[in-house]
Amino acid sequence: MMKAYLKAISYYLPPQGLGNEKINEMFPEWSADKISSKTGIYNRYIADETTFSSDLGVYAAKKLFAEHQISPGEIDYILFCTQSPDYFLPTTACLVQERLGIPISAGALDFNLGCSGYIYGLSLAKGLISSGDASNVLLITAETYSKFIHPRDKSNRTIFGDAASATLISATEGLAEIGKTVVGTDGSGAENLIVKRGGMRFPKDTDEKVSVDEYGNSRNENYLLMNGSEIFNFTSEMVPGLVDNTISKNQLTKDEVDLFVFHQANKFMLNHLRKKISIPEEKFFYFLQHCGNTVSSTIPIALYHAIKENKFLGNVLLAGFGVGYSWGATVLTVTK
């Protein structure tokens, strides 16, 4: 069976920053220091009203091509992970193919996943390459969650930022071989992280009735609703087993994992998981302080910086978890 390799990663952040000082101006009861101490986030980037997921994805892919001397003509499959597509149809990946000048012989599809999306994308790309159906897969993650957040929802506004990443997965040897993947799904948690209105089942509510929760966050079913305590409980219960199963499936021991890169949800959750799983701090990578929780892009952004900091060595375990509920993990074995 043909092996699949991660060859290169780049990412793109919109130019407009939203720092904690600005959020403090919007919500005076939340100081900048309080926000950073609770979340580990100091800044996040927000797409403007004319910029959408396809735009972010195209910018990220163009950076990938430029930084790593990749020709669009080499790409024979596009996987585009987003929960904030430009349209219901056509597929955003089709728009991206045309804008990037990728050959019309390439396959292109969207898949709708959040914080586990990058892991699923690596698994799908590996499957395409292992089967011989593709040789060079462009995996793009792109989200504009800020467009889902109510202007007066201070909790979600402090956490989420917009971003896109682009990764080349190839049949030819690259940075790291993609190992075996463990995934899981529990749709019973769907209501705990949801944009309820705007699809076919529940059209957008033009009345926009707003309620205020016990923490002072404005809530409306047209916008992102997150039950933070339930998401925390799910993550705390599921991720330790996910890590153990992934290590076992890849025939490793925990000591043989050199770096752990988790979905960068928030600093509190990451610290809780690190301690619960007994991961040494020097083996656990953080990168969310400058861009926040960018959903499916957090892992590739963190990987990009781990590579830059020469921490991308040996066996690297990736784990994503969140909306769905959905979770997944894999191991990258560094070859260069």
Pure H helices in 115-263: 117-130, 154-159, 228-249
Distance CA 201, CA 234 (A): 26
Residue pair 224/145 in contact (Cβ under 8 Å)? The answer is: yes
Residue 209 has pLDDT above 90, yes or no: no
Active site residues: 115, 263, 293
Residues of the chain with CATH 3.40.47.10: 5-174, 179-334
Evaluate if pTM is beyond 0.95.
Answer: yes
The answer for residues whose C-beta is within 8 angstroms of residue 306's C-beta and 6 or more apart is 259, 261, 285, 287, 312, 316
Residue pair 228/323 in contact (Cβ under 8 Å)? The answer is: no
Q: pLDDT tens across 316-326, in order?
A: 999 999 999 99
Confidence at 53, pLDDT banded by 50, 70, 90: very high
Confidence at 218, pLDDT banded by 50, 70, 90: confident
Distance CA 151, CA 252 (A): 46
The answer for residues whose C-beta is within 8 angstroms of residue 37's C-beta and 6 or more apart is none
**pLDDT value of residue 233:** 97
**pLDDT value of residue 220:** 87
Query: What residues are paired with 108 via a beta bridge?
Result: 78
**pLDDT value of residue 210:** 83
**What share of the chain in percent tops pLDDT 90?**
93
Residue 207 has pLDDT above 90, yes or no: no
Residue 219 has pLDDT above 90, yes or no: no
Count Cβ atoms below 10 Å from residue 135 Cβ, excluding itself: 17
Distance CA 93, CA 116 (A): 19
**pLDDT value of residue 3:** 96
Confidence at 67, pLDDT banded by 50, 70, 90: very high
Confidence at 214, pLDDT banded by 50, 70, 90: confident
Query: What residues are paired with 8 via a beta bridge?
Result: 168
The DSSP 8-state label assigned to residue 277 in this structure reads H
Confidence at 206, pLDDT banded by 50, 70, 90: confident
Both tokens of residue 119?
């892991």
Q: pLDDT tens across 72-128, in order?
A: 999 999 999 999 999 999 999 999 999 999 999 999 999 999 999 999 999 999 999
Element (H, E) at 184: strand 176-185
Average pLDDT, the chain: 96
SS3 274: helix
5-174 CATH, one of 3.20.20.140, 1.10.1040.20, 3.30.70.1070, 3.40.47.10:
3.40.47.10
**pLDDT value of residue 215:** 73
Confidence at 41, pLDDT banded by 50, 70, 90: very high
Residue pair 18/265 in contact (Cβ under 8 Å)? The answer is: no
Q: pLDDT tens across 159-202, in order?
A: 999 999 999 999 999 999 999 999 999 999 999 999 999 999 99
Whose CA is closest to 81, among 66, 98, 96, 101?
96
Distance CA 166, CA 180 (A): 21
SS3 165: strand
Average pLDDT of the residues in 20-37: 94
**pLDDT value of residue 211:** 82
Residue 205 has pLDDT above 90, yes or no: no
**pLDDT value of residue 325:** 98
Pure H helices in 81-161: 92-100, 117-130, 154-159
Tell me, which fold does domain 179-334 have in CATH?
Peroxisomal Thiolase; Chain A, domain 1 (3.40.47)
Q: pLDDT tens across 272-295, in order?
A: 999 999 999 999 999 999 999 999
Confidence at 135, pLDDT banded by 50, 70, 90: very high
Task: Report DSSP letters for 96-107, one per residue.
Answer: HHHHHT--TTSE
Distance CA 70, CA 62 (A): 9
CA torsion through residues 309, 156, 120, 250, sign: positive
Distance CA 298, CA 261 (A): 9
Residue 241 has pLDDT above 90, yes or no: yes
Distance CA 112, CA 97 (A): 18
> Strands 315-322, 259-262: parallel, antiparallel or unpaired by DSSP?
parallel
